[in-house]
Homo-oligomer: A and B are copies of this chain.
Amino acid sequence: MAHIFFDHISATPVDPRVVEAMLPYFGERYGNPASHIHDQGQTALRALDASRGTVARMIHAQPGEIVFTSGATEANNLAIKGAAAGSKDKRHIVVSEVEHFSVLNALLPLRAAGFETTVLHVDRDGRVDPDDVRKAIRPDTLLVSVMHANAEIGTIQPVSDIGRIARERGVLFHADATASAGHIPVDVDAIGADLLTLSAHNFYGPKGVGALYVRKGTRLESLIDGGFQEGGYRAGTENVPGIVGMATAAEIAMAESAGWAEKLAPMGRRLWDGLATSIPLLHFTGHPEDRLPGHVSFWVEHAEGESLLLLLNMQGVMAASGSACSSNLRGHDEEDLVASTVLKAIGVPSDICTGSVTFSMGKENTGADVEHVLSVLPAIVSRLREMSPTWLDYQKQQESQG
């Protein structure tokens, strides 16, 4: 059977070169960088330093500005809560409504502590209007946080414009580059970011490691306290093999990601066009051009999302519905199953029967994968519609009208 992974926003296969680079840091070079008086610790410290330099290079930062974390979620929490804790008197934060939950939910304890937040609306393509950022900034605004690219609908935000506005107004700018870094160019200076989130497992590196870029001079308090690691911004023994893996993935991305994008962009367009012509009542989500390469997202009327994914999976096609990190069959109550906030934000109607799908391709996908998906999806949609009472009603209504 086919094994077509079109869910790279949730996970990417670790590149074999990354695994190879990590391997020695388990059983042979197992030292703790903090214990660097002896050879084992020193070896670990050198690997850590070199990795920091490489990751910095990927985003045009200085090595001392990279704080390794356990992933994007922690980095986002550190950015938001750390900036808030480091603030003297500014107590207002601006975010967009399509931010990942690790940004939106990090605001909850801050609101409880008296911070005020402005949540910016996005347009139908999921974009923040930089002018809205300008208008939202107040004298007491501490931070603006807008993601670089949205994983669910692929839209790339006008972060450079937003960064410029924040800079002009003396406000910190945090950009969550989890979905973009390693796929499209990320330059902290071009973006004008003071804080920027990275996640290794989103660009063929390992899970369990990410980084927060912290521009020199930024006031930030640590979230996890303890020993003196990561310049005091993040305590705890560093995940040396993971960090070496992240750096290797960054190295590979710097060398190859332009080529991946060149390959994936036309594959994405082919999938887009193929779906547009073969499935009625299908609506694409996200910006048609300013989007992640190889990322195609949409919703269809009269077919439910999970059922679409289950049937796709039976055909060897793995995809996501809604945000990969929010759809959760393991929650403890049904509140956990609410519709994606992103889809709501871009105006996907919640009063008709819809199913959303996100196809996110990766470097190992091929044109044949796209053709396979195009060959199976129309029948899957039809099958579910045939089962749906709403489709029946819709057709009867069409007949009576026509």
Contact = CB atoms under 8 A, between A and B. Distances in A.
Interface of A: 3, 5, 7, 10-16, 18-19, 22-23, 26-28, 30-32, 34-41, 44-45, 69-74, 76-77, 85, 100-103, 105-106, 108-109, 199, 201, 206-209, 221, 223-229, 231-232, 235-242, 306, 309-310, 312-313, 318-321, 323-332, 336
The SS class assigned to the A binding surface is loop
Contacts of A318: 35, 38-41
Contacts of A208: 70, 208-209, 238-239, 241-242
A30 B13 contact: yes
14 contacts: A7-B38, A11-B35, A14-B30, A22-B26, A32-B207, A32-B324, A34-B328, A37-B329, A71-B239, A73-B237, A77-B223, A207-B239, A208-B209, A208-B242
Which of A15, A72, A208 counts the most B-chain CB atoms under 10 A from its CB?
A: A208
Contacts of A325: 32, 34, 226-227, 229, 237
A26 B19 CA distance: 7
A316 B40 CA distance: 10
Contacts of A36: 329-330
Contacts of A22: 26
A401 to B, nearest CB: 36
B70 A239 contact: yes
Contacts of A76: 226
A309 B309 CA distance: 58
Among A70, A306, A323: residue with most chain B CB under 10 A: A70
A71 B68 CA distance: 13
Contacts of A310: 37
A169 to B, nearest CB: 27
A11 B26 contact: no
The 5 A-B pairs of least Cβ separation, nearest first, read A208-B239, A102-B226, A73-B236, A70-B70, A38-B318
A38 B5 CA distance: 9
A16 B23 CA distance: 10
Given A10-B31, A70-B70, A227-B101, A207 B41 contact: no
